[in-house]
Chains A and B, each alone.
Chain A
Amino acid sequence: MGILSIISLWFIPILIGFILLYGTFKGVPTYESFVEGGKEGIKIAISIIPFLVGMLVAISVFRASGALDYLMEFIRPALKSIGVPAEIVPLAIIRPISGTAALGMTADLIEAHGPDSFIGRLASVLQGSTDTTFYVLTVYFGAVGIRKMGDALKVGLLADVAGIAAAILVVVYIWY
């Protein structure tokens, strides 16, 4: 992993050290500011509980009932016809909805097909280059009390589609 692992290992401690030294240097009462900022964190965490409970219950009911599998079977031919490999379809569909489920699927795909196979690489790139739109929407808007999301969901989901397409194109172009 070389330099990459060193960067990711050092990044957070160095950043924290820098913020603390810079604050001290500028005469900020660092400890008091930290506590004050931290208090907001508790408020936010508590306030997003109802939003996440609502969303996660709906998502897990949808999944557990088999409705999600059905949806996938329904969409699969369409996605396949535009060049999405069948194995990757469930991951592509679940990625915006549930982060943990997507991570589990990525691990499954990598285990089943091998990390250096086409599917393994594609799953890796897809997992790394997209985010859980529903989670981000629920948490960010929920925490600050935005009720009307406007175009946010549409834009987010279309961006996900673009991300999935980009992942497939890049993997095919680089390795195959």
Chain B
Amino acid sequence: MPMVNYIWVGMTIIGIIFGIANGTMEEVNKAIFKGAADAVTLCIGLISILVFWLGMMKIAEESGLLEKLSSLFRPVVKWLFPEVPVRHPAMGYILSNIIANMFGLGNAATPLGIKAMEQLKELNGGKDYASRSMVTFLAINTSSITLIPTTVIAIRMNYHSASPTEIVVPTLIATIISAICGILIDRYFYYRRSRKG
């Protein structure tokens, strides 16, 4: 059984047991329905962003702009995603997702990432397990390179920082290190998998 099942059940059951032990059952009760409501609100909020950016990206795809973008970074992405044909639209979406993340456009990055996943699934013959490229893509995504951490800058401004943007360069360095580590960790697990056969 996929691991996510155990994690999901584990978090919920441990939460309920703690609720009993800690006397926080009231909070647990509230949390169940608040969590569900929050999730739906989040998805509804995503509709506008998904519709807008996927609409725009469709134009970019049909005009050949996405392919141009991937040809620009071809050597790098070829090394990162050896399983994806260079002219495949998946490459364009992967790159646009990374670029959106770089500029701190989290809301634009999500639709592009989903689209990239969809293409990668197609490349994997529509199977329901994560392919090598998908794991690599996620590794890069979760340690995503950030050029401008907009929300953090906004918070710092709110609390009257003497220099709200002083964290831009440190964040960039930290994020590059973590992206490199992410890629290396991903490679390590891939080779471990392929050795096992």
Contacts and interface: CB of A to CB of B under 8 A. Distances in A.
Interface of A: 1, 4, 7-8, 11-12, 16, 19-20, 22-23, 25-26, 28, 30, 33-42, 44-46, 48-49, 52-67, 70, 96, 103, 106-107, 110-111, 114-116, 120-121, 124-133, 136-137, 139-141, 143-156, 158-160, 162-163, 166-167, 169-171, 174
B143 A162 contact: yes
B157 to A, nearest CB: 8
B49 to A, nearest CB: 8
Interface string B39-78: 1101110110111111111111111110000000000000
A159 B139 contact: yes
Given A45-B46, A141-B117, A151-B193, A55 B39 contact: yes
Contacts, number: 363
A139 B110 contact: yes
A48 to B, nearest CB: 6
Interface of B is mostly: helix
A6 B61 CA distance: 27
B85 interface: no
Interface residues of B, number: 107
Given A41-B111, A162-B181, 11 more contacts: A23-B65, A33-B58, A38-B51, A39-B51, A58-B12, A67-B11, A107-B158, A110-B155, A127-B152, A130-B142, A166-B178
Contacts of A116: 161-163, 166
A57 B114 contact: no
Contacts of B178: 129-130, 159-160, 162-163, 166-167
A141 B120 CA distance: 11
Given A55-B39, A155-B138, A159-B181, A170 B174 contact: yes
Contact of A170 (B61, B105, B177): B177
A169 B141 CA distance: 21
B125 interface: no
15 contacts: A4-B165, A12-B108, A34-B59, A35-B55, A37-B58, A42-B47, A55-B39, A128-B146, A136-B142, A139-B114, A159-B185, A162-B143, A162-B177, A166-B174, A170-B170
Most buried by A among B24, B150, B167, B181: B167
Contacts of A30: 59
Contacts of A110: 155-156, 159
A28 B62 contact: yes
Contact of B8 (A49, A55, A151): A55
Given A116-B163, A125-B171, A136 B14 contact: no
